[in-house]
Structure 1
């Protein structure tokens, strides 16, 4: 059994049961190995969890980059709102996305600092990339964002609110919030035409 296969089983357990609820015994059972075999690859449950989480952050980062590359020809507003809609749709069907959001908002208390050491650099990098995107404008309308850095921060704040609604309110409530908040966000950050 490889470390990658163990991490895949661990991800499923952590996503389903949380850090506290997942046990190395259940992860080993899911892999068809004995619990001590996990220690050939990971020093502890904490080590396994943090490696799984680091991998998840890398994949989420890549998914974000892929989304914006695939939609680069769309008007900027369509790219940005489409990303939120896409994020919501993937959340509804993807255990990894659910795990990611839960850990960003509710890290295990025993690992809070370790998790935040992943979260803050991730958020800072996304803010920088988004600021550059907003400053560049869009293929159709050019530079239409008044204050790109502020607009990036506001966008991430909007995403936070939508993500919380995903975690607690469900799909219908999330969609309702997005539809109400989006026009306010967009009119606040874009130049008058």
Structure 2
């Protein structure tokens, strides 16, 4: 379908060139159609971009839910640690994740309000999903740590790793992920001696 092809090519160009530099003419050229043909499917570049971003939020939430469903039989330690690894690796392998993270952290100035609403939706739903995971595995937690505290600290660590992913270098990201994970797990876990 032409609209899907437009969105796919536009997403790639928005990610690599940014919103302003990815013109409709460039997108049309990549799709192999005339610029005017894009208007058959989308009223404007803004509408195209926001539709792609809205769908990217849903794709990322779907990834989180499916990851947890696939791994629900694992220990809390393994679910959380593997999630960090999988999400950070996903940035390199998945065009949607690259677009979503870059757009969330570097929104186009004119569309910043709309992007923040979508990012906020993602963050709110992710918080609820991770909180419910900690509530389910609450017996693993140190008695001084509530499921809410553990989930917020985990998501703060994930946010910090996303910043390093976008701004830093791979070696530093790996080191920060390993060290912050070890300190985090020691802080929340009932078994203080278990680094795993």
SS in 2 for 1:102: helix
Query: Paired residue for 2:84?
Result: 84
1:132-143 equivalences in 2 (<5 Å)? 132-137=132-137, 143=139
- For residue 188 of structure 1, report the CA deviation from its aligned partner: 2.0
Query: Paired residue for 2:58?
Result: 58
Q: Is the 8 A contact 1:92 1:171 kept in 2?
A: no
- For residue 180 of structure 1, report the CA deviation from its aligned partner: 1.0
Q: Is the 8 A contact 2:57 2:100 kept in 1?
A: yes
1:28-47 equivalences in 2 (<5 Å)? 28-47=28-47
Q: Tell me how far apart the structure 2 counterparts of residues 2 and 92 of structure 1 sit (CA, whole Å).
A: 26
Greater Cα offset, 60-69 or 183-192: 183-192
Indicate whether 1:182 and 2:186 are aligned.
no
Q: Tell me how far apart the structure 2 counterparts of residues 53 and 114 of structure 1 sit (CA, whole Å).
A: 9
- For residue 192 of structure 1, report the CA deviation from its aligned partner: 4.2
Q: Is the 8 A contact 1:10 1:27 kept in 2?
A: yes
Q: Tell me how far apart the structure 2 counterparts of residues 118 and 93 of structure 1 sit (CA, whole Å).
A: 22
Query: Paired residue for 1:27?
Result: 27
1:148-187 equivalences in 2 (<5 Å)? 148-187=147-186
Q: Tell me how far apart the structure 1 counterparts of residues 135 and 190 of structure 2 sit (CA, whole Å).
A: 12
Q: Tell me how far apart the structure 2 counterparts of residues 37 and 53 of structure 1 sit (CA, whole Å).
A: 21
Indicate whether 1:11 and 2:14 are aligned.
no
Q: Tell me how far apart the structure 2 counterparts of residues 22 and 99 of structure 1 sit (CA, whole Å).
A: 13
TM-score under structure 2 length normalisation: 0.91
Point out where structure 2 has 5 or more consecutive residues left out of the alignment: none
Point out where structure 1 has 5 or more consecutive residues left out of the alignment: none
Q: Tell me how far apart the structure 2 counterparts of residues 56 and 124 of structure 1 sit (CA, whole Å).
A: 15
Q: Is the 8 A contact 2:150 2:188 kept in 1?
A: yes
- For residue 179 of structure 1, report the CA deviation from its aligned partner: 0.9
Q: Is the 8 A contact 1:25 1:35 kept in 2?
A: yes
TM-score under structure 1 length normalisation: 0.93
SS in 2 for 1:129: helix
Q: Number of residues paired by the alignment?
A: 189
